[in-house]
Chain A
Amino acid sequence: KAGVTQTPRYLIKTRGQQVTLSCSPISGHRSVSWYQQTPGQGLQFLFEYFSETQRNKGNFPGRFSGRQFSNSRSEMNVSTLELGDSALYLCASRLADNEQFFGPGTRLTVL
């Protein structure tokens, strides 16, 4: 089975722009979670989607949003980018139990 894939792998944007990141879960997995990883804050949970519905949300501003499609693929959007949004964004998918499988991440740099 193919693993979790994330596109693009690297992205450079400027302050004020918006960005959309994509995640394709493992086939059959209906849950997709997003995390932000930075050297200062570590791994922080953004949100989780299951069957196109957001089930849980972390403590991030409304500039961070997401959605999930009927094929379980998910996108994450960040609007009005700030320098502090530079991070590795990780997507993880899950089947039935609580074991998550992570993708390689998208490295976002905001200039």
Chain B
Amino acid sequence: AQSVTQPDIHITVSEGASLELRCNYSYGATPYLFWYVQSPGQGLQLLLKYFSGDTLVQGIKGFEAEFKRSQSSFNLRKPSVHWSDAAEYFCALTSSGTYKYIFGTGTRLKVLA
């Protein structure tokens, strides 16, 4: 069965520190993978996506993610976190020909000044 796991429910980092949010997936074929960010009371904004090709993808707001097929992972990284990055982050997957996204449970990021 398809699934997305975000093992960290909460993460706290200091402003300026580096960040890595983990995402593991279970899927029989190559998935399409996404990272979304959600600020309180808001919808989801797409940070980046992986469909195929280069396994290191760049997104908005200085985020990047690396697809590792051998580890079934798609971790999100940022070299220097800003206070405005505090939000909830969701990893999601879908696949070609299906129309249903599967989301992870989210990781809430807190940024200390």
> B residues within 8 A CB of A50?
99
Give the complex CA separation of A103 and B42 in angstroms. Answer: 8
Give the complex CA separation of A42 and B101 in angstroms. Answer: 13
In the complex the two chains form, is B101's CB within 8 Å of A97's CB? no
With A43-B90, A98-B51 already in contact, the answer to whether A55 and B99 are too (CB < 8 A) is yes
In the complex the two chains form, is B99's CB within 8 Å of A31's CB? yes
* Residue A21, interface by CB 8 Å: no
Q: Mark A34-62, 1 if CB is under 8 A from B, else 0.
A: 01000000110100101000011010000
Give the complex CA separation of A90 and B90 in angstroms. Answer: 14
- The answer, among A35, A55, A98, A105, for a CB contact under 8 Å with B32, is A98
In the complex the two chains form, is A90's CB within 8 Å of B99's CB? no
Q: Mark B84-105, 1 if CB is under 8 A from A, else 0.
A: 0000001010111011111111
Q: How far is the CB of B94 from chain A (nearest CB, A)?
A: 5
In the complex the two chains form, is B43's CB within 8 Å of A102's CB? yes
Q: How far is the CB of A28 from chain B (nearest CB, A)?
A: 17
Q: How far is the CB of B105 from chain A (nearest CB, A)?
A: 5
Q: How large is the interface on B (under 10, 10 to 19, 20 to 34, 35 or more residues)?
A: 20 to 34
Give the complex CA separation of A97 and B106 in angstroms. Answer: 24
Which of B94, B99, B101, B102 has most chain A Cβ within 10 Å? B99
> A residues within 8 A CB of B105?
42
In the complex the two chains form, is B43's CB within 8 Å of A45's CB? no
Q: Main SS of the interface on chain A? A: strand
Which of B90, B94, B101, B102 has most chain A Cβ within 10 Å? B101
Give the complex CA separation of A43 and B6 in angstroms. Answer: 13
Q: Mark A79-111, 1 if CB is under 8 A from B, else 0.
A: 000000000001010000111111111010000
* Residue B17, interface by CB 8 Å: no
Give the complex CA separation of A97 and B100 in angstroms. Answer: 13
In the complex the two chains form, is B94's CB within 8 Å of A98's CB? yes
> A residues within 8 A CB of B46?
99-101
With A42-B105, A43-B103, A102-B36 already in contact, the answer to whether A90 and B44 are too (CB < 8 A) is yes
Which B positions have Cβ atoms within 8 angstroms of A? Answer: 32, 34, 36, 41-46, 49, 51, 90, 92, 94-96, 98-106
